[in-house]
Amino acid sequence: MADDKASRTANIFDVARLAGVSHQTVSRVLNDMPNVRPATRARVEQAIAQLRYSPSPAARALVTRRTRTIGLVTPGTVDYGPSSIAMNFNFAARAARYNVDAISSAQTDAAEVRVAIDGLLKQRVDAIVLIVIDAEVLAAIQALELDVPVVAAAATPRPHPRLVAIDQYRGARAAVRHLLESGYTTVRHIAGPARNPDAIERLRGWREEIASARAQSTPPLHGDWTAASGYRIASETDLAPGEGIFVANDQMSIGVLSALRERGLRVPDDVGVVGFDDIPEASFVYPSLTTVRQDFAALGEILMQKVLLMVEEPDTVSETTPLPTRLVVRDSAPTRS
Amino acid sequence: MADDKASRTANIFDVARLAGVSHQTVSRVLNDMPNVRPATRARVEQAIAQLRYSPSPAARALVTRRTRTIGLVTPGTVDYGPSSIAMNFNFAARAARYNVDAISSAQTDAAEVRVAIDGLLKQRVDAIVLIVIDAEVLAAIQALELDVPVVAAAATPRPHPRLVAIDQYRGARAAVRHLLESGYTTVRHIAGPARNPDAIERLRGWREEIASARAQSTPPLHGDWTAASGYRIASETDLAPGEGIFVANDQMSIGVLSALRERGLRVPDDVGVVGFDDIPEASFVYPSLTTVRQDFAALGEILMQKVLLMVEEPDTVSETTPLPTRLVVRDSAPTRS
DNA sequence: AACAGGGGTGTGAGCGCTAACATTCGGGCA
DNA sequence: TGCCCGAATGTTAGCGCTCACACCCCTGTT
């Protein structure tokens, strides 16, 4: 198996020599530049294949000052929503021939995330993507004015050029409206973390829908997205039969259903429950969960589109309209008039 | 904000000049080499801080031929187990000051994964980590003999130097034993995908425990890890009261519980159910799920340890003993004598 | 017939770092 | 006093690319 010279991997000069051209011509072929005769191009491509040559990203990055790598900061959890977004973003990035440098960071405070971002910057990523971070952390990062584009997946009351989101607000309103229209007297809200942007938007949607329906308002109860927190809150809270509960995600809903069961409150007869996300298990819990479905695949694509735009023509970047959601009605809050 | 010269980012020479030393001395400081006078080191460090200098990974990679980046191939799903492993590996990699180049790949066939791996190789990653891939795909990759270390998280009957795993086999045996000891006449198995290594080991554990207890054997039923598949299988299968069901993961268990409920089979009175993974929702489904807990955090660490070993001293790499699991008993299969 | 122009290709420099080697300097010892 | 040695530092040569520019040759125009 001994190649020419200690069988080190081929470089652009090896290819050039084999194809009988200069290294610059090889470079032109590699970068799809015009002004290369088809016959020459073919010879070069043949040489590339024969030597199993692939250009060194390091050498390229050194001179172009672009790494074709995007830094992705994911929350240090395995929650369905964030994980789905991350995964779909990964697909989209690959389709655009970008690499993803991923880093999981518990997003407890700005310092934590700052460290993660600094790590990515040291890698000279071309852009940074943040997934549903704490609202204050998000603000802190936005204020940083890094010299690399930063795009975040997070909901806000008004569209922002550097944010991409699913329409949590309208999704929440639809969920609450459904409960009210199904005859529940009012709707309580078991919310996500108080500073999570998506949680805030769901809460806002709930609050405004309650207000516009002139239903009785109650204070929101904040969980931490986990089933355990949903269970705890639903166990401790004073719930009247006839009320609906809008839970900010499906995992917490599972905890809520468990608590209601223990307390002898029947769902949907005594209490209606609507979740958010439509996790794959939502149809199979008992009772099956009415919930708000989000199109994470589309979000991943849009995230990447925005990244490309910010990297390539930062000036043209404008607000992105949040993606719509869809209410999926199941047994925990069936349609009744 | 105009710096000296068009405010391009500082390089090693800028630091050297500011500190009044040669660039090589700066390099020595950067790489923690000995033979630098403490006073000199301090001056250099001061200059680094003042210029906010950070060394270019591209330039480094170009000369050292190491990128300090590990390629991570994750399945293109958001399943709890693989996601947890990926996340914990990410933490461990960061702790070891390595970057993670992540790539999600639907692991349907070897070609698919091959493309993902080739992409990582083109990035010149120092090592590749594969997460619970199809067994045949795994074999195909192992056979490839890439010139980069490849470590996989996947269970096998016998330990392998390039694999790291949690002891699925013994976990499965414990689960099945628990059901038998609790009085169920025999235990059926709703397995994972037929070619998934972890699924295969869980199946093997089930089969051998059944055999050694001389309980009646039944054919395994293969799902695809989703609640929907668990539901479908449990709906279609002929189940006798008094039997236990060992389900290869918790999501499928949720589907199974749903199907049993519809069929009027009570859990645990008529049928006992044990899952695998101990997802955070396991305590909150109805009835709460007896399951096998895996220590994904530890697995992530061990994965990284193995990677480091393979990168730094490939010859000393030996088999790793699979990590133990823990049976968590809840209502779907309580302890009874 | 001379020349402008452009497609096709080659040459040289330099991106920012590390590795290898060269040099300096200050003792300790004969 | 001179020499040697090792610690501390400097110098030079690439790593493998792209960019800017130089060059060639053929065609079409005046």
How far is Cα B68 from Cα B66, in angstroms, rounded to an integer?
Answer: 6
Chain B residue at shortest CA distance from A99: B101
Closest CA to A9 of B121, B115, B99: B121
- Closest Cβ opposite residue B227 in set A58, A78, A284: A284
Band of pLDDT at residue B313, cut at 50, 70 and 90: confident
Cα A107–chain centre separation:
14
Beta strands in A141-240 (DSSP E): 150-153, 163-164, 187-191, 221-222
Interval A150-181: pLDDT, tens:
999 999 998 888 999 999 999 999 999 999 99
A140 touches strand C (CB under 7 A): no
With 0-12 CB in 10 A as exposed, 13-18 as middle and 19+ as buried, what is A206?
Answer: buried
Q: What is the pLDDT of residue A121?
A: 96
Q: Position of tokens 């479908």?
A: B232
Do the chains contact at B257 and A286, CB–CB below 8 Å? yes
CA/C1' separation B34–C29 (Å): 26
Whether pTM exceeds 0.85: yes
> How big is the CA angle at B317 (ends B311 and B321), to the nearest 5 degrees?
125
Q: What is the pLDDT of residue B165?
A: 95
**Percent of chain B, pLDDT > 70?**
98
Do the chains contact at B90 and A102, CB–CB below 8 Å? yes
CA/C1' separation A192–D17 (Å): 49
A22 touches strand D (CB under 7 A): no
Interval B156-195: pLDDT, tens:
998 888 999 999 999 999 999 999 999 999 999 999 999 9
How far is Cα B174 from Cα B333, in angstroms, rounded to an integer?
Answer: 13
Q: Position of tokens 């990055």?
A: A61
Do the chains contact at B124 and A57, CB–CB below 8 Å? yes
CB A161 within 8 A of CB A318: yes
How far is Cα A193 from Cα A182, in angstroms, rounded to an integer?
Answer: 28
* Residues of B whose CB is below 8 A from A257: 284, 286
Per-residue pLDDT, averaged over A69-93, amounts to: 95
User: Coil, helix or strand for A79?
Assistant: coil
User: Coil, helix or strand for A261?
Assistant: helix
Give the nucleotide nearest to A36 (CA→C1'): C8
Rounded to the nearest 10 degrees, the angle between the axes of helix B110-122 and helix B135-144 is 40
- Closest Cβ opposite residue B281 in set A59, A104, A254: A254
| DSSP H or E run through B141 | helix B135-144
Interval A5-31: pLDDT, tens:
446 799 999 999 999 999 999 999 999
Closest CA to A110 of A86, A144, A132, A136: A136
Give the nucleotide nearest to A10 (CA→C1'): D16
* Residues of A whose CB is below 8 A from B54: 121-122
CA/C1' separation A24–D20 (Å): 12
Band of pLDDT at residue B7, cut at 50, 70 and 90: low
Per-residue pLDDT, averaged over A78-92, amounts to: 96
Interval B103-129: pLDDT, tens:
999 877 888 899 999 999 999 999 999
User: Coil, helix or strand for B66?
Assistant: coil
Per-residue pLDDT, averaged over A111-123, amounts to: 94
Per-residue pLDDT, averaged over A317-331, amounts to: 93
CA/C1' separation A64–C20 (Å): 28
* Residues of A whose CB is below 8 A from B59: 58, 62
Band of pLDDT at residue B3, cut at 50, 70 and 90: very low
B42 touches strand D (CB under 7 A): no
What is the nearest CA distance from B212 to chain A, expressed in angstroms? 34
Give bridge partners of residue B100 from the DSSP assignment: A102, B70
Q: What is the pLDDT of residue B144?
A: 86
User: What is the largest distance, in Å, between two alpha-carbon atoms of chain B?
Assistant: 84
Interval B35-67: pLDDT, tens:
889 999 999 999 999 999 999 999 999 999 999
CB A237 within 8 A of CB A218: no
Q: What is the pLDDT of residue B247?
A: 98
- Closest Cβ opposite residue A286 in set B100, B101, B286: B286
CA/C1' separation B29–C13 (Å): 29
Per-residue pLDDT, averaged over B247-272, amounts to: 96
Do the chains contact at A283 and B101, CB–CB below 8 Å? no
Q: What is the pLDDT of residue A4?
A: 43
Interval B275-293: pLDDT, tens:
999 999 999 999 999 999 9
Q: Peptide bond preceding B287: is omega within 30 degrees of 0, i.e. cis?
A: yes
Q: What is the pLDDT of residue A313?
A: 83
As given in the structure block, the two tokens for residue A164 are: 């991409």
A25 touches strand C (CB under 7 A): yes
Per-residue pLDDT, averaged over B6-17, amounts to: 86
Q: What is the pLDDT of residue A1?
A: 36
What is the nearest CA distance from A212 to chain B, expressed in angstroms? 34
Q: What is the pLDDT of residue B2?
A: 35
Q: Distances from the Cα of A87 to the Cαs of A80, B2, B297, in angstroms?
A: 10, 40, 20
Per-residue pLDDT, averaged over B139-155, amounts to: 90
What is the nearest CA distance from B248 to chain A, expressed in angstroms? 16
Q: What is the pLDDT of residue A7?
A: 64
Per-residue pLDDT, averaged over A131-136, amounts to: 86
